[in-house]
Amino acid sequence: MSTPLLKLRSVNKSFKSADGSDRLILENVDFTLNEGEIVALLGQSGSGKSTLLRIMAGLISADSGEVEYAGKPIYGPVNGISMVFQSFALFPWLSVQQNVELGLEARGIAPDVRAKKAKQAIELIGLEGFEGALPKELSGGMRQRVGIARAIVLEPEVLLMDEAFSALDVMTGEHLRDDILELWQSGDLPTKSLLVVSHNIEEAVMMADRALIFSSNPGRVRFELPIELERPREPKTAEIHHLVDCIYTEMVTPQRRLADGQLDYGLATERSPYPRANVASIEGLMERLIDPEFLGRADLPKIAEAAEMGDNAFINAVEDLVLLEFAVVKDGDLIATELGSIFGNGDSELRKQMLGQQALQTIPFISDLYRELKSAPSKKVSFDQLTKSLGLSLNKRDVKKTLDLILEWSTYGDLVDLDFKVRKVFLHSESPVRA
């Protein structure tokens, strides 16, 4: 069980951003995938996991570092590596059978042989009888089964799953996941190892032998958690809970874990101080936290479930609460600060005031903007200017989102007002704003 199928060493990748400068997406990533194991890669959206996966699939090439499959360097897509896509990527004009046969046809396998193999894969994945259907006639779960069948019919040694269950509803996703694990356990899944990329922590813990936590900006493997539970794993047990807890804590804690396992508190947070969650999420989470159920101190996975937000949204909200000094994270728990309790208990007027104050104190971008608007009477700053200056330190994809949040926080906190017609920001005035 020790032949590394995939080996990545010191992989770096950067992309050119809009202004021509390089943005580092992956930094010194080391990664090994061995035969007979399932590895989960966890991280928030935009953390470079997709890029890493595509480098392994041979779709993109790394800028530097080694990428090897079975000891040989990867220059392009390899026969032994197959992929399942988040949005299924089925060809809408091909039937289920034809979609599954796609890879076989590309390899020049004879029609009768392909038909037989495809039929076997379709039966294995549970879609018997649907060979002639077109993708648009199938539900989401069934489409993903086709995607899986298409990948495993090629008998790959490595199966990459790019957020394969994220586009499915919770029950369908769980059902499909259990089916795959069952096949894996019984040895019927014709692949030697799985790499599951996900942002769903529980899914990762249920499936994997190893979970790697990926940090973003730039992306690197931050933490590795071995999961030595026997399969099949029951979802609501104490061991699972503990593992999920560990991972949550790791993901929201800004400390860096050094190579020898020591925690390093001295470095600044990896994340630049910009808002990541909207006001409604922050307020909602805070209210939940000071609820009688938690009374200001909550176990992270528990309050994640209670808050009923997606994993990504939850982590963003937690980080923003910490940023605004309304809460801290300690020992796997989210703890409200005094400031936070006042915020949670206050009425809307008080909350607006507090959010405005804290935003000014803790988010340099907002305080800079405020200062500039104050510098001259009736000064206005355009959206485009803000977009440009955000673009200097953020990914193009994040700029629009972050700008929207900055403007939302600032207007909510009564710091600024907006004029959408001319797309400019100006100082908030106490007098009623013209319509």
Partner 1 sequence: MSIDNIQNSSSSRPNAENLAVAPSGIWDLVLLPIILLILLVLGFGAEEMAKPFLVGTPIELSLDAANLPYYLLRTILRMFIALAFSVVFAFGFALLAARSRAAEKVLVPILDILQSIPVLGFLSITVTGFIALFPGSLLGVECAAIFAIFTAQAWNMAFSAYQSFKTIPAELEEASRIFKLSPWQRFWRLDIPVSMPGMLWNMMMSMSGGWFFLVASEAITVANQDIKLPGIGSYIALAIDERDLSAIGLAIVTMLIGITLYDQLFFRPLVAWADKFRFEEGDGEVAPKSWALNFWRRTVWLQQLGLGVIKLFEGSFRFFRKRTDGTSAPSVKLIPAHHFARGWDILVMIAACLAVIYLIKYIHTEVGLTEVLHILYLGVLTLIRVVVLIAIAIVIWVPIGIWIGLNPRIAEHSQAVAQFLAAFPANLLFPIAVVGILHFNLDPNIWLSPLIIFGTQWYILFNVIAGASTIPVELRYAADNLGLKAWTKWRRYYLPAIFPSLVTGALTATGGSWNASIVSEYVTWGDTTLKAEGLGAYIAEMTTAGDFPRIALGIGVMCIFVIGFNRFIWRRLYLLSEKGLNF
**388: which 2 tokens?**
């440009």
**309: which 2 tokens?**
């937000």
CA distance 283 to 374: 28
Q: Please report, as a single letter, which amino acid is at residue 316.
A: N
The distance of closest approach from Cβ of residue 93 to partner 1 in the complex, given in angstroms and rounded to an integer, is 5
Which is it for strands 210-215 and 38-42: parallel, antiparallel or unpaired? parallel
- Measured between its terminal Cα atoms, the distance across the chain in Å is 70
Single out the segment in contact with partner 1 by CB under 8 A; choices: 66-74, 224-232, 241-249, 299-307.
66-74
| CB-based contact 24:183 (threshold 8 Å) | no
- The one among 2, 421, 430, 434 contacting partner 1 by CB under 8 A: 421
- The one among 2, 20, 108, 171 contacting partner 1 by CB under 8 A: 108
Q: Which is nearer to partner 1, 374 or 388 (CB)?
A: 388
**433: which 2 tokens?**
């704003």
- The one among 36, 111, 310, 364 contacting partner 1 by CB under 8 A: 111
| CB-based contact 181:164 (threshold 8 Å) | no
360 binding partner 1? (CB under 8 A): no
Single out the segment in contact with partner 1 by CB under 8 A; choices: 19-27, 108-116, 322-330, 371-379.
108-116
416 binding partner 1? (CB under 8 A): no
* Angle ∠(298,328,407) on CA atoms, nearest 5: 110
Beta bridge partners of 84: 161
Single out the segment in contact with partner 1 by CB under 8 A; choices: 5-13, 71-79, 344-352, 396-404.
71-79
- The one among 92, 187, 226, 266 contacting partner 1 by CB under 8 A: 92
| CB-based contact 287:252 (threshold 8 Å) | no
Quote the radius of gyration of the chain (alpha carbons, Å): 24
- The one among 2, 20, 76, 266 contacting partner 1 by CB under 8 A: 76
Residues in contact with partner 1, total (CB under 8 A)? 46
Nearest in space to 293 (alpha carbons), one of 303, 283, 284: 303
The distance of closest approach from Cβ of residue 103 to partner 1 in the complex, given in angstroms and rounded to an integer, is 4
The distance of closest approach from Cβ of residue 4 to partner 1 in the complex, given in angstroms and rounded to an integer, is 15
235 binding partner 1? (CB under 8 A): no
| Binding to partner 1, residues 175-214 (CB under 8 A) | none
| Binding to partner 1, residues 120-159 (CB under 8 A) | 129-130, 132-134, 136-139, 150, 154
Give the position of tokens 């490595």: 158
Sequence-distant (6+) residues with CB within 8 A of 337 are 325, 326, 327, 328
* Angle ∠(341,342,346) on CA atoms, nearest 5: 120
364 binding partner 1? (CB under 8 A): no
CA distance 334 to 344: 14
- The one among 12, 14, 46, 85 contacting partner 1 by CB under 8 A: 85
The distance of closest approach from Cβ of residue 71 to partner 1 in the complex, given in angstroms and rounded to an integer, is 9
57 binding partner 1? (CB under 8 A): yes
382 binding partner 1? (CB under 8 A): no
66 binding partner 1? (CB under 8 A): no
Nearest in space to 168 (alpha carbons), one of 96, 251, 84, 248: 84
- The one among 11, 41, 55, 74 contacting partner 1 by CB under 8 A: 74
* Angle ∠(274,50,42) on CA atoms, nearest 5: 70
- Angle between helical axes of 300-307 and 238-252 (0-180°, round to 10): 90
- The one among 6, 55, 78, 386 contacting partner 1 by CB under 8 A: 78
58 binding partner 1? (CB under 8 A): yes
CA distance 140 to 158: 24
The distance of closest approach from Cβ of residue 85 to partner 1 in the complex, given in angstroms and rounded to an integer, is 6
412 binding partner 1? (CB under 8 A): no
Positions touching partner 1 (CB under 8 A) are: 54, 57-59, 69-70, 72-79, 81-83, 85, 87-89, 91-95, 102-103, 105-108, 110-111, 129-130, 132-134, 136-139, 150, 154, 421
